[in-house]
Structure 1
Amino acid sequence: MVKEMILMEEKAIFAGGCFWCMVKPFDELPGIIKVVSGYTGGHTVNPTYEEVCSGTTGHTEAVEITFDSEIISYKDLVEIYWHQTDPTDAMGQFVDRGDSYRPVIFYENDEQYEIAKESRERLEKSGKFDQPIVTQIEKAQIFYPAEEYHQDFHRKNKDHYQKYREASGRDRFIDTNW
């Protein structure tokens, strides 16, 4: 008898600055099915990168992670998320400034909301940061995949990606604070 494998497929949506830098930390983990760069949280239907960068769409750059919850939990993903961001900076992340780069955990259901809220409360109480934790937790909205040239950027443009990460201050912050 052949045992059928059943995927417990779920989605997680995280915004933490430039979506290029938010893909790789999740991309190669066991249980991750795919990570897509895109836009969410705004009012424009199917926005382009240029429109989102203009600040007129209300969208935030984010990643949509499809994962097998039998292998990796949403709680684990939230903990990994924190370690990619500066949770005390509401107006962007590192060199990327403005609403389109704000840190947000977008929840898909009540269980995800509770996990994200409890995780944020634990981080606030930990005293790890001298400033308040300002990462928002918001209901997921329609997620629009970004243009193809943004997908898997860390693989397609390794040198550019690495130079950008270093110059942005993200790696320095992560090494110092996490």
Structure 2
Amino acid sequence: MRVLEKLKPFVLTSLIAVGLVAHGNPVQAQSSAVLTVAGGCFWCVESDFESVPGVIEAVSGYTGGTTQDPTYKDVTGGGTGHFEAVQITFDPTKVSRKRLLELFFRSVDPTDSGGQFCDRGDSYRTAIFVSNSEENALAREVTAEAQHALGQKIVTPILAAQTFYKAEDYHQDYYKGQSLVFTRFGPKRQAEAYKRYRQACGRDARVAKLWGSAASFAKGH
């Protein structure tokens, strides 16, 4: 008991020190954060952001609507209110939320209110989802900066975050999958089918035309 009594002051001091460090360095205490965006086809958004240093994971899913546990067919069929979206988990000590938002705008056509590229309809519209007033203010700031840089009106809405429903397993990491799928180009591995789809849809060509050298992920354009 005497040994334990002697140790108590030391343990208490250590706990206080740890608490002060965590309180004084909130970024260090927060190992990850989440940004949810909609940018048209979620395969493409996931592929783009998983290439960004500091991004831990990007997950395809659905959010912004009223239907619970929606399927891909439900969402693309219309009437659910959901967007095809991507939930990006990142390390804020390596990449900031602001930087990710800047990359997001320069990876989409934020002037298009009817969808993105060859994918048309409400579920393919762009959007930014925020969880609090701080995130909302930052999103508005980056939107204004992007609009000034682009010189055109940005129609991407900033919406309150809602339940994020993870998409079906076959949609996750589609861009690098090796399962055999049947496409209009014939039987292809997912990774090859994705490349063909992205090129045919005109995503990179349009983003490069819109943003020029600032286009975030439009390789080869």
How far is the alpha carbon of 1:133 from its aligned partner? Answer: 0.8
How far is the alpha carbon of 1:124 from its aligned partner? Answer: 2.0
1:135 aligns with: 156
- Equivalent residues in 2 for 1:6-17, closer than 5 Å: 8-17=31-40
Q: Which runs of 5+ in 2 are unaligned?
A: 1-27, 178-189, 212-221
Structure 1 distance, partners of 2:96, 2:31, is 10
How far is the alpha carbon of 1:7 from its aligned partner? Answer: 5.0
Q: Which runs of 5+ in 1 are unaligned?
A: none
Structure 1 distance, partners of 2:101, 2:159, is 14
Q: Which is greater in Rg?
A: 2
1:172 aligns with: 205
2:78 aligns with: 55
Structure 2 distance, partners of 1:74, 1:94, is 25
- Which consecutive segments of 4 or more residues in structure 1 shift more than 6 A? none
- Native 8 Å contact 1:12 1:65 kept in 2: yes
Partner amino acid for 1:152? D
Which deviates further from its counterpart, 116-125 or 95-104? Answer: 116-125
| TM-score between both structures, scaled by the size of structure 2 | 0.75
Q: Which one has a larger percent helix, Structure 1 or Structure 2?
A: 2
Structure 1 distance, partners of 2:120, 2:59, is 21
| TM-score between both structures, scaled by the size of structure 1 | 0.92
Partner amino acid for 1:140? A
Structure number with greater CO (CA < 8 Å, separation at least 6) is 1
Q: How many pairs are equivalent? A: 172
Q: CA RMSD in A?
A: 1.3
- Native 8 Å contact 2:102 2:146 kept in 1: no
- Native 8 Å contact 2:38 2:125 kept in 1: yes
Identical-pair percentage = 47
Structure 2 distance, partners of 1:118, 1:169, is 29
